[in-house]
Structure 1
Amino acid sequence: MAITHIAVLAMALVALLCLPCAVVVVVCADAMPARRPWSRGGRRDVHALRCLDRRLSSTEPFELPAASQPGIDELTADLRRLARQRTSGPTRESAAWLAAVVRAYDHRLVVVSEALGVPHHLTGLDGMDRDLERIRLEEKLRAAGLRLR
Protein backbone atom coordinates (compact mmCIF):
# COMPACT_ATOMS: atom_id res chain seq x y z
CA MET A 1 0.00 0.00 0.00
CA ALA A 2 2.81 2.41 0.86
CA ILE A 3 4.62 1.71 -2.40
CA THR A 4 1.45 2.54 -4.35
CA HIS A 5 1.14 5.86 -2.52
CA ILE A 6 4.80 6.67 -3.21
CA ALA A 7 4.39 5.84 -6.90
CA VAL A 8 1.23 7.96 -7.22
CA LEU A 9 2.89 10.84 -5.37
CA ALA A 10 5.99 10.62 -7.59
CA MET A 11 3.87 10.59 -10.77
CA ALA A 12 1.86 13.60 -9.56
CA LEU A 13 5.08 15.48 -8.77
CA VAL A 14 6.53 14.69 -12.22
CA ALA A 15 3.27 15.80 -13.88
CA LEU A 16 3.30 19.09 -11.96
CA LEU A 17 6.90 19.77 -12.94
CA CYS A 18 6.42 18.90 -16.63
CA LEU A 19 3.01 20.52 -17.12
CA PRO A 20 4.31 24.13 -17.59
CA CYS A 21 6.78 22.94 -20.22
CA ALA A 22 4.07 21.06 -22.09
CA VAL A 23 1.79 24.11 -22.02
CA VAL A 24 4.57 26.34 -23.42
CA VAL A 25 5.29 23.88 -26.22
CA VAL A 26 1.62 23.68 -27.17
CA VAL A 27 1.03 27.45 -27.00
CA CYS A 28 4.24 28.48 -28.77
CA ALA A 29 4.21 25.78 -31.44
CA ASP A 30 3.24 28.31 -34.12
CA ALA A 31 6.17 30.58 -33.27
CA MET A 32 8.76 27.81 -33.51
CA PRO A 33 10.60 27.61 -36.83
CA ALA A 34 9.54 24.73 -39.05
CA ARG A 35 13.04 24.34 -40.51
CA ARG A 36 16.23 23.76 -38.67
CA PRO A 37 19.11 26.22 -39.37
CA TRP A 38 21.41 23.36 -40.37
CA SER A 39 19.07 22.13 -43.11
CA ARG A 40 19.41 23.39 -46.70
CA GLY A 41 16.29 25.56 -46.53
CA GLY A 42 17.24 26.91 -43.11
CA ARG A 43 20.71 27.92 -44.35
CA ARG A 44 19.12 29.66 -47.33
CA ASP A 45 16.78 31.56 -45.00
CA VAL A 46 19.65 32.56 -42.70
CA HIS A 47 21.66 33.76 -45.71
CA ALA A 48 18.70 35.81 -47.00
CA LEU A 49 18.20 37.38 -43.56
CA ARG A 50 21.89 38.29 -43.32
CA CYS A 51 21.80 39.91 -46.78
CA LEU A 52 18.69 41.87 -45.82
CA ASP A 53 20.33 42.96 -42.58
CA ARG A 54 23.42 44.19 -44.48
CA ARG A 55 21.25 46.17 -46.89
CA LEU A 56 19.20 47.72 -44.10
CA SER A 57 22.25 48.68 -42.05
CA SER A 58 23.90 50.52 -44.94
CA THR A 59 24.56 54.22 -44.30
CA GLU A 60 23.41 55.33 -47.74
CA PRO A 61 19.94 56.92 -47.71
CA PHE A 62 17.20 55.18 -49.57
CA GLU A 63 16.29 57.06 -52.76
CA LEU A 64 12.75 56.87 -54.06
CA PRO A 65 12.26 56.89 -57.81
CA ALA A 66 11.18 60.28 -59.15
CA ALA A 67 7.81 58.96 -60.38
CA SER A 68 6.79 57.64 -56.97
CA GLN A 69 7.73 60.67 -54.85
CA PRO A 70 5.10 61.22 -52.16
CA GLY A 71 3.21 64.50 -51.90
CA ILE A 72 4.28 67.38 -49.68
CA ASP A 73 1.53 66.53 -47.16
CA GLU A 74 2.84 62.99 -46.77
CA LEU A 75 6.39 64.28 -46.42
CA THR A 76 5.47 66.76 -43.69
CA ALA A 77 3.50 64.04 -41.88
CA ASP A 78 6.61 61.84 -42.08
CA LEU A 79 8.74 64.68 -40.74
CA ARG A 80 6.38 65.18 -37.78
CA ARG A 81 6.33 61.44 -37.07
CA LEU A 82 10.11 61.13 -37.28
CA ALA A 83 10.58 64.23 -35.09
CA ARG A 84 8.42 62.58 -32.41
CA GLN A 85 10.40 59.35 -32.73
CA ARG A 86 13.70 61.22 -32.34
CA THR A 87 12.71 62.50 -28.91
CA SER A 88 10.74 59.58 -27.46
CA GLY A 89 10.03 55.89 -27.73
CA PRO A 90 12.59 53.17 -28.38
CA THR A 91 15.17 55.66 -29.66
CA ARG A 92 16.13 56.45 -26.07
CA GLU A 93 17.30 52.86 -25.47
CA SER A 94 18.93 52.05 -28.81
CA ALA A 95 21.68 54.07 -30.46
CA ALA A 96 21.24 52.17 -33.73
CA TRP A 97 17.51 52.95 -33.79
CA LEU A 98 18.18 56.64 -33.08
CA ALA A 99 20.79 56.82 -35.85
CA ALA A 100 18.34 55.26 -38.32
CA VAL A 101 15.55 57.66 -37.33
CA VAL A 102 17.87 60.68 -37.61
CA ARG A 103 19.06 59.49 -41.05
CA ALA A 104 15.45 59.08 -42.21
CA TYR A 105 14.53 62.49 -40.78
CA ASP A 106 17.46 64.17 -42.54
CA HIS A 107 16.57 62.46 -45.81
CA ARG A 108 12.97 63.68 -45.55
CA LEU A 109 14.21 67.19 -44.75
CA VAL A 110 16.35 67.16 -47.89
CA VAL A 111 13.44 65.90 -50.06
CA VAL A 112 11.03 68.53 -48.68
CA SER A 113 13.55 71.36 -49.03
CA GLU A 114 14.30 70.38 -52.62
CA ALA A 115 10.58 70.19 -53.37
CA LEU A 116 10.07 73.71 -51.98
CA GLY A 117 13.27 75.15 -53.45
CA VAL A 118 14.86 75.86 -50.07
CA PRO A 119 18.68 75.62 -50.27
CA HIS A 120 20.31 73.12 -47.91
CA HIS A 121 23.78 71.80 -47.06
CA LEU A 122 22.67 68.87 -44.92
CA THR A 123 24.23 66.11 -47.02
CA GLY A 124 27.84 67.28 -46.72
CA LEU A 125 27.95 67.85 -42.97
CA ASP A 126 28.28 65.75 -39.83
CA GLY A 127 28.34 66.20 -36.07
CA MET A 128 27.40 69.58 -34.58
CA ASP A 129 27.45 71.27 -37.99
CA ARG A 130 24.81 68.85 -39.23
CA ASP A 131 22.67 69.49 -36.14
CA LEU A 132 22.88 73.26 -36.67
CA GLU A 133 22.07 72.92 -40.37
CA ARG A 134 19.09 70.72 -39.45
CA ILE A 135 17.78 73.45 -37.10
CA ARG A 136 18.36 76.14 -39.75
CA LEU A 137 16.58 74.07 -42.38
CA GLU A 138 13.63 73.40 -40.05
CA GLU A 139 13.26 77.14 -39.48
CA LYS A 140 13.43 77.87 -43.22
CA LEU A 141 10.72 75.26 -43.85
CA ARG A 142 8.57 76.76 -41.08
CA ALA A 143 9.03 80.18 -42.71
CA ALA A 144 7.95 78.60 -46.02
CA GLY A 145 4.66 77.58 -44.39
CA LEU A 146 5.19 74.00 -43.22
CA ARG A 147 3.99 72.98 -39.80
CA LEU A 148 6.67 70.57 -38.52
CA ARG A 149 5.68 70.29 -34.87
Structure 2
Amino acid sequence: MHTVVLALALVALVFLPCAVALLICADGAVARVRQRIRGRRDRRALHILDRTLTHQSISLAALDEHQPSIQQIAADLRRLDRQRLGIATRSKVWHAAVLLAYDDRLRLASRCLGVCEHLDQLDGVDLEIERVRVEGELEAAGLSLRAGSHRHQDH
Protein backbone atom coordinates (compact mmCIF):
# COMPACT_ATOMS: atom_id res chain seq x y z
CA MET A 1 0.00 0.00 0.00
CA HIS A 2 2.79 2.42 0.86
CA THR A 3 4.44 1.70 -2.46
CA VAL A 4 1.32 2.71 -4.39
CA VAL A 5 0.96 5.95 -2.39
CA LEU A 6 4.66 6.70 -2.84
CA ALA A 7 4.42 6.04 -6.58
CA LEU A 8 1.35 8.31 -6.90
CA ALA A 9 3.09 11.05 -4.92
CA LEU A 10 6.14 10.88 -7.21
CA VAL A 11 3.95 10.99 -10.32
CA ALA A 12 2.08 13.99 -8.93
CA LEU A 13 5.36 15.70 -8.03
CA VAL A 14 6.67 15.21 -11.56
CA PHE A 15 3.49 16.12 -13.47
CA LEU A 16 2.12 18.96 -11.30
CA PRO A 17 4.61 21.58 -12.58
CA CYS A 18 3.88 20.42 -16.13
CA ALA A 19 0.14 20.82 -15.54
CA VAL A 20 0.63 24.33 -14.10
CA ALA A 21 2.85 25.32 -17.04
CA LEU A 22 0.25 23.93 -19.45
CA LEU A 23 -2.48 26.02 -17.82
CA ILE A 24 -0.35 29.17 -17.99
CA CYS A 25 0.56 28.59 -21.64
CA ALA A 26 -3.01 27.64 -22.56
CA ASP A 27 -4.13 31.21 -21.84
CA GLY A 28 -1.72 32.52 -24.49
CA ALA A 29 -2.76 29.81 -26.92
CA VAL A 30 -6.43 30.66 -26.47
CA ALA A 31 -5.65 34.34 -27.12
CA ARG A 32 -3.76 33.44 -30.32
CA VAL A 33 -6.66 31.28 -31.54
CA ARG A 34 -9.12 34.12 -30.84
CA GLN A 35 -6.88 36.55 -32.71
CA ARG A 36 -6.68 34.22 -35.72
CA ILE A 37 -10.45 33.82 -35.76
CA ARG A 38 -10.93 37.57 -35.49
CA GLY A 39 -8.37 38.12 -38.27
CA ARG A 40 -10.18 35.67 -40.55
CA ARG A 41 -13.51 37.35 -39.79
CA ASP A 42 -12.02 40.79 -40.52
CA ARG A 43 -10.45 39.59 -43.79
CA ARG A 44 -13.76 38.04 -44.82
CA ALA A 45 -15.64 41.26 -44.03
CA LEU A 46 -13.08 43.29 -46.00
CA HIS A 47 -13.38 40.88 -48.92
CA ILE A 48 -17.18 41.22 -48.91
CA LEU A 49 -16.89 45.02 -48.68
CA ASP A 50 -14.35 45.10 -51.49
CA ARG A 51 -16.56 42.91 -53.66
CA THR A 52 -19.58 45.12 -52.90
CA LEU A 53 -17.70 48.34 -53.66
CA THR A 54 -16.35 46.87 -56.89
CA HIS A 55 -19.84 46.10 -58.14
CA GLN A 56 -21.58 49.25 -56.90
CA SER A 57 -20.87 52.89 -57.53
CA ILE A 58 -20.80 54.88 -54.28
CA SER A 59 -20.58 58.65 -54.36
CA LEU A 60 -18.04 60.06 -51.89
CA ALA A 61 -20.06 63.27 -51.73
CA ALA A 62 -23.01 61.26 -50.40
CA LEU A 63 -20.79 59.84 -47.64
CA ASP A 64 -19.56 63.32 -46.62
CA GLU A 65 -23.09 64.73 -46.30
CA HIS A 66 -23.43 63.17 -42.85
CA GLN A 67 -20.17 64.58 -41.50
CA PRO A 68 -20.61 67.76 -39.45
CA SER A 69 -18.85 70.95 -40.51
CA ILE A 70 -15.58 71.94 -38.87
CA GLN A 71 -17.43 74.80 -37.13
CA GLN A 72 -19.90 72.33 -35.62
CA ILE A 73 -17.05 70.03 -34.57
CA ALA A 74 -15.25 72.97 -32.90
CA ALA A 75 -18.45 73.99 -31.08
CA ASP A 76 -18.92 70.38 -29.91
CA LEU A 77 -15.30 70.25 -28.69
CA ARG A 78 -15.73 73.47 -26.70
CA ARG A 79 -18.99 72.22 -25.14
CA LEU A 80 -17.49 68.80 -24.31
CA ASP A 81 -14.37 70.46 -22.89
CA ARG A 82 -16.53 72.50 -20.49
CA GLN A 83 -18.44 69.35 -19.52
CA ARG A 84 -15.36 67.21 -18.93
CA LEU A 85 -13.87 69.84 -16.64
CA GLY A 86 -17.18 70.64 -14.90
CA ILE A 87 -20.24 68.45 -14.64
CA ALA A 88 -18.51 65.27 -15.80
CA THR A 89 -16.33 65.21 -12.68
CA ARG A 90 -19.37 64.24 -10.59
CA SER A 91 -19.73 60.73 -12.02
CA LYS A 92 -17.20 58.24 -13.42
CA VAL A 93 -19.72 56.99 -15.96
CA TRP A 94 -20.56 60.51 -17.12
CA HIS A 95 -16.86 61.41 -17.28
CA ALA A 96 -16.09 58.33 -19.40
CA ALA A 97 -18.96 59.11 -21.77
CA VAL A 98 -17.89 62.73 -22.18
CA LEU A 99 -14.28 61.67 -22.83
CA LEU A 100 -15.40 59.18 -25.49
CA ALA A 101 -17.45 61.89 -27.22
CA TYR A 102 -14.57 64.39 -26.87
CA ASP A 103 -12.07 61.93 -28.39
CA ASP A 104 -14.50 61.19 -31.22
CA ARG A 105 -14.74 64.90 -32.04
CA LEU A 106 -10.95 65.25 -31.78
CA ARG A 107 -10.62 62.46 -34.36
CA LEU A 108 -13.13 64.16 -36.68
CA ALA A 109 -11.38 67.53 -36.35
CA SER A 110 -8.01 65.88 -36.96
CA ARG A 111 -9.32 64.20 -40.09
CA CYS A 112 -10.77 67.49 -41.37
CA LEU A 113 -7.55 69.45 -40.76
CA GLY A 114 -5.07 66.72 -41.70
CA VAL A 115 -3.65 66.29 -38.20
CA CYS A 116 -2.16 62.90 -37.35
CA GLU A 117 -3.68 61.33 -34.23
CA HIS A 118 -3.42 57.99 -32.41
CA LEU A 119 -6.27 58.26 -29.92
CA ASP A 120 -7.72 54.83 -30.77
CA GLN A 121 -4.47 53.02 -30.06
CA LEU A 122 -3.70 54.36 -26.59
CA ASP A 123 -5.12 54.30 -23.08
CA GLY A 124 -4.38 55.64 -19.62
CA VAL A 125 -1.71 58.32 -19.29
CA ASP A 126 -0.57 57.78 -22.88
CA LEU A 127 -4.08 58.64 -24.10
CA GLU A 128 -4.10 61.80 -21.96
CA ILE A 129 -0.74 62.86 -23.42
CA GLU A 130 -1.93 62.15 -26.97
CA ARG A 131 -5.14 64.11 -26.30
CA VAL A 132 -3.09 67.16 -25.20
CA ARG A 133 -0.78 66.79 -28.23
CA VAL A 134 -3.71 66.59 -30.67
CA GLU A 135 -5.37 69.59 -29.01
CA GLY A 136 -2.16 71.57 -29.50
CA GLU A 137 -1.88 70.51 -33.15
CA LEU A 138 -5.50 71.47 -33.81
CA GLU A 139 -5.06 74.85 -32.14
CA ALA A 140 -1.89 75.40 -34.19
CA ALA A 141 -3.97 74.64 -37.28
CA GLY A 142 -6.37 77.44 -36.27
CA LEU A 143 -9.12 75.59 -34.41
CA SER A 144 -10.12 77.13 -31.08
CA LEU A 145 -10.88 74.39 -28.55
CA ARG A 146 -11.37 76.34 -25.35
CA ALA A 147 -14.61 78.13 -24.58
CA GLY A 148 -13.09 81.64 -24.46
CA SER A 149 -10.30 81.21 -27.01
CA HIS A 150 -12.43 81.84 -30.10
CA ARG A 151 -13.21 85.37 -28.86
CA HIS A 152 -9.54 86.22 -28.40
CA GLN A 153 -8.64 85.21 -31.93
CA ASP A 154 -11.08 87.73 -33.42
CA HIS A 155 -9.29 90.73 -31.83
TM-score normalised over the length of structure 1? 0.55
Residue of structure 1 equivalent to 2:100: 103
Task: State the SS of the aligned residue for 2:143.
Answer: coil
Shift of 1:134: 0.2
Task: State the SS of the aligned residue for 2:65.
Answer: helix
Residue 65 of structure 2 is aligned to residue 72 of structure 1: no
Alignment RMSD (CA, Å): 1.0
Count of residues in correspondence between the two structures: 84
Residue of structure 2 equivalent to 1:84: 82
Shift of 1:67: 2.5
* Cα displacement string for residues 91-123 of structure 1 (whole angstroms, at most 9, x for unaligned residues): 122100000000000000001001111111111
TM-score normalised over the length of structure 2? 0.53
**Gap runs ≥5 in structure 2:** 1-62, 147-155
Shift of 1:128: 0.3
Task: State the SS of the aligned residue for 2:95.
Answer: helix
The residue type equivalent to 1:76 in the other structure is A
Task: State the SS of the aligned residue for 1:68.
Answer: coil
- State how far apart, in whole Å, the 1-side matches of 2:67 and 2:108 are: 9
Residue 111 of structure 2 is aligned to residue 114 of structure 1: yes
After the TM superposition, list the runs of 4 or more consecutive aligned residues in structure 1 that deviate by more than 4 angstroms.
none
- State how far apart, in whole Å, the 2-side matches of 1:113 and 1:134 are: 11
Shift of 1:130: 0.3
- State how far apart, in whole Å, the 2-side matches of 1:131 and 1:143 are: 18
- State how far apart, in whole Å, the 2-side matches of 1:77 and 1:107 are: 13
Residue 139 of structure 2 is aligned to residue 142 of structure 1: yes
Shift of 1:81: 0.2
Residue of structure 1 equivalent to 2:20: none
Structure (1 or 2) with the greater helix fraction: 2
* Cα displacement string for residues 12-45 of structure 1 (whole angstroms, at most 9, x for unaligned residues): xxxxxxxxxxxxxxxxxxxxxxxxxxxxxxxxxx
